[in-house]
Amino acid sequence: MTTHNDAVCGCPDFRTSRRTFLKGVGAAAGAGVFTSLVGDVFTEAHGGAPKGGSVLVVLSLRGGSDGLSLVVPHGDPG
């Protein structure tokens, strides 16, 4: 007969306690309230292009992931 273990890895450190569960529920509820209060600001386009007009979207990303670090020219004699 096998025994049932609540933890996935068998470690008591990774068990979900009531406190961590309530923290997660509180964070999800807070995110829902925040989104309902100011969510329209993020979804509306203020001063957008007229109907049928062209739209230019510019993304400026800063960080460690660029084209040269993601696709390394391995084996290129360069």
Query: Average pLDDT, stretch 4-24?
Result: 74
Query: Average pLDDT, stretch 64-77?
Result: 72
Alpha-carbon dihedral 43, 65, 31, 46, rounded to 10 degrees: -20
Q: What pLDDT does 70 receive?
A: 74
CB within 8 A of 7, min separation 6: which ones? Answer: 13, 14, 15
Q: What pLDDT does 27 receive?
A: 95
- Per-domain residue ranges for the chain? 12-70
Q: What pLDDT does 1 receive?
A: 56
Q: What pLDDT does 30 receive?
A: 93
Residue 57 confidence (pLDDT) above 60: yes
Q: What pLDDT does 2 receive?
A: 59
